[in-house]
Amino acid sequence: MSTRQIILDTETTGLDAALGHRILEVAAVELNDRRLTGNHLHRYINPGRASDDGALQVHGLTEDFLRDKPKFREISAELLDFINGAELVIHNASFDLSFLNHEFALINLKQVKHYCPSVIDTLALARELHPGKRNNLDALCDRYQIDNSKRTLHGALLDANLLAEVYLAMTRGQNSLMIDMAPAPKTAAATRRAAGQLELVVLAPSAEELDAHEKQLAELDKASNGATLWRKLAPDAAAAAKN
């Protein structure tokens, strides 16, 4: 069964939908089985109000430019048709979802989770992969060597396309797990080992190496708030290695 995902981004008049701020641009880019299909939805929206100065500096979409654009109500059916049933991929999902849910409520639609029950937050994913580092979209583009030179201002369609590349780069290792688990071709050493003819040399760590290992784990624990896999998956491994 194919997996359909929608990379979604919005631009807004401000930071808080509860204060009456509205969506003024939305873009959705389609992935099918981790491949960009070329299908996308991109609409500018007349929010019916001015943007805060800070928001305007981010997206540059003025009231004059948006005045003749459709209201959210007018593009809602098209948006729902495009995202319905797909898994959403959003950077800082709680922000965009709060605005979408607010817009849906204003026109008596159900919340986003009714139409798209699964959401991946790439900000949360990035924080797990890169604890203690900057994980905004620009930082992730730099980290994964994705060209974001055209991003002088935030734009929903440009950002959605960049996020699609970032998401695929961040999760590429998940696809390689089955490849890594495939049996390796037999070598002469492997054949001798299977026949019991190869003597394996086991080198025990020195006291200095164990101490350095423990210090490294302590630093990782501090950086990740105690989430290192070594301690989670093998809590007795360090103690056993010392005995």
The least confident of 130-134, 179-183, 186-190 is 179-183
In terms of domains, do 46 and 96 share one? yes
CA max distance for the chain: 81
Over residues 33-54, the mean pLDDT reads 96
For residue 154, tell me if it sits in a domain: yes
In terms of domains, do 145 and 193 share one? no
Q: Which residue, of 151, 175, 199, is where some domain finishes?
A: 175
Q: How far is it, in rounded angstroms, from Cα 230 to Cα 73?
A: 51
For residue 181, tell me if it sits in a domain: no
In terms of domains, do 132 and 194 share one? no
In terms of domains, do 158 and 134 share one? yes
Catalytic residue among 40, 91, 154, 213: 154
For residue 231, tell me if it sits in a domain: yes
For residue 203, tell me if it sits in a domain: yes
In terms of domains, do 163 and 100 share one? yes
Domain containing 129 — which CATH number? Answer: 3.30.420.10
Place of tokens 């430019």: 65
Contact of 90 with 8, CB cutoff 8 Å = yes
Q: Helix or strand or coil: residue 63?
A: helix
Q: Give the model confidence (pLDDT) of 52-75 as tens digits.
A: 999 999 999 999 999 999 999 999
For residue 139, tell me if it sits in a domain: yes
Report the pLDDT value the prediction gives residue 17, as an integer from 0 to 100.
Answer: 95
Residue 213 confidence class, pLDDT cut points 50, 70, 90: confident
Q: Give the model confidence (pLDDT) of 92-127 as tens digits.
A: 999 999 999 999 999 999 999 999 999 999 999 999
Place of tokens 């929903």: 156
Nearest-CA neighbor of 12 among 52, 64, 67? Answer: 52
| % of the chain with per-residue pLDDT over 90 | 66
Contact of 26 with 63, CB cutoff 8 Å = no
Q: Which residue, of 116, 142, 175, is where some domain finishes?
A: 175
Provide the number of structural domains found in the chain: 2
Q: Which residue, of 175, 208, 232, is where some domain finishes?
A: 175
Taking all residues of the chain, what is their mean pLDDT, rounded to a whole number?
85
Q: How far is it, in rounded angstroms, from Cα 90 to Cα 7?
A: 6
Report the pLDDT value the prediction gives residue 178, as an integer from 0 to 100.
Answer: 36
Q: Is 204 left (phi over 0), alpha (psi -120 to 50) or beta?
A: beta
Is 40 marked active-site?
no
In terms of domains, do 171 and 202 share one? no
For residue 180, tell me if it sits in a domain: no
Read off the tokens for 104: 């849906």
For residue 220, tell me if it sits in a domain: yes
Nearest-CA neighbor of 96 among 168, 152, 26? Answer: 26
In terms of domains, do 144 and 221 share one? no
In terms of domains, do 192 and 158 share one? no
In terms of domains, do 153 and 217 share one? no
Over residues 145-150, the mean pLDDT reads 89
**Residue 122 contacts by C-beta under 8 Å, 6 or more apart in sequence?**
89, 90, 91, 140, 163, 166, 167, 170
Expressed as residue numbers, the domain containing 92 is 4-175
In terms of domains, do 51 and 126 share one? yes
For residue 183, tell me if it sits in a domain: no
Contact of 87 with 119, CB cutoff 8 Å = yes
In terms of domains, do 120 and 219 share one? no
